[in-house]
Amino acid sequence: MSKRIKCGRLFTGLEDTARKDQTVIVDDDGIIAYVGPTAAAPPPGARDKVIDHSGAFVMPGLIDAHTHLTFGGTQTLEDIDLYAPLEFRALRALIWGQRLLHAGFTGVIDPGCTGRTMIAVRDAINAGMFEGPRVCASGPFIGNYQGYTAFYPTWINNPTAVYAHVDSIDNGIEIVRSFAKDGVDFFKFALDGSAVDTKGGLAASMRLDETKALFGEAHRLGKRVIAHSKGQSGAETAAKAGADVIYHFSWQDDASLQAVIDNNVTICPSLVIIHNRYSFTQQTDGHGMGASTAGRLRDPRHPEWDGHGARSDLGRSEWKGAIAAAKRAYEAGVPIMVGSDSGFAVCPVGEWNALELVLLHKHVGMKTCDILKGATSLNAQFMPGGHKFGALEKGRYADILAVDGDPLSQIDVLLDKSKLTVYKAGERIKSRPPAINYRQEQDFSYRMWQEIYDQKFVKALAEASRLQAFAAE
């Protein structure tokens, strides 16, 4: 019994425009058997099921190229690393994965988790044990004390950390080999963190020779490499060492852009995290742009720079930089993958993933057709087996999104989950993921108070009538 999906408009993920009056026929295995004009479709069998999306815009399921399912909606970096057991993190990732699927994303690239959690989640979904998006998984970040995710001081040795510590080229190569042995799809390297170089930008975490050696081993083992590089130096180093993809790419110049072009690197700006952190955060948040918090929680080890967003001037500067760099890269023809860096309290998984597409259009000036191709067929190309999904074409899986609207002319319709119908391998996703008790699900930290209540602070609170009982006495 085949399914015949009547499409009002059909966007294949490979072309710039949508076609009219098309039909997609899906066979029993969830594979597309026909895409083309309804009039030319093979005649229906007596038992074929017709699905009418003749009022909808039908396109491939979206793929987010940068989401951390194990983080979910993390409020503290400690929650990523320290408190919850690995087994809990894997279960947590499953639920967030289901939320992502409901938001129209049938695939996800998950770059950086603790332990082998995302390998387990990927394999469980692939085995049909749980509903979820197609997962392309790395293990932990690979880096050193100068790279992002080396959150803690050197005396804390956390064996289940979100990063694996490289202390020499030989040991880095061994880490790459062990991750490959355990089944990662690709490697995530932290090419910068929060250290500042002599020019005042972010310092690359590794020298070029070290980076080349580690990326080279990854490639020798047939795996691709994504580098986290916000700064110029890390991006230039990553590009020259042969990175396949660079995430963030926030503060860039001619030299790093040229290195990206010369080495055929794809970039994935990941604007949602920058935008939301900058736009949503309240003054009571430790990591925020609010006037009362700005500068208060900056990293004392690197007073010139704070990678966690506590300095409002840096939040503003990163947003401007990331927009400018993405614009220049787009105009230079650099391929742009679409990923939101969801997984944090300001961008919980499944809520704002589609905002990345909106920001790329509104602020970077990308054409909507390029964004939609990026979020489908281009993102899929990075994933193992990606030639089997990511586009509506004969022989690929019927991972389909039917949209009540026209994302080519109004891309923010993709943020409205009530307007989306999702199919993975031809099966409609129906059951809603359970509501999550965020407090039980996220907060394992021992932090007890946001403020330090010395007499001066309590007096100020009372004067502002924020401490009712005290003020009343």
Judged by the rule CB under 5 A, the positions of this chain that interact with Zn ion are: 341
**194 phi/psi in degrees, rounded to 5:** -135, 10
In angstroms, what is the minimal distance from the CB of 401 to Zn ion? 24
Of the two residues 244 and 341, which places its CB atom closer to Zn ion in the complex? 341
Of the two residues 25 and 268, which places its CB atom closer to Zn ion in the complex? 268
In angstroms, what is the minimal distance from the CB of 234 to Zn ion? 14
Of the two residues 217 and 341, which places its CB atom closer to Zn ion in the complex? 341
In angstroms, what is the minimal distance from the CB of 118 to Zn ion? 13
In angstroms, what is the minimal distance from the CB of 71 to Zn ion? 8
In angstroms, what is the minimal distance from the CB of 111 to Zn ion? 6
Closest residue to Zn ion: CB criterion: 341
In angstroms, what is the minimal distance from the CB of 115 to Zn ion? 17
In angstroms, what is the minimal distance from the CB of 339 to Zn ion? 8
Of the two residues 58 and 375, which places its CB atom closer to Zn ion in the complex? 375
Of the two residues 103 and 190, which places its CB atom closer to Zn ion in the complex? 190
Of the two residues 80 and 378, which places its CB atom closer to Zn ion in the complex? 80
In angstroms, what is the minimal distance from the CB of 112 to Zn ion? 6
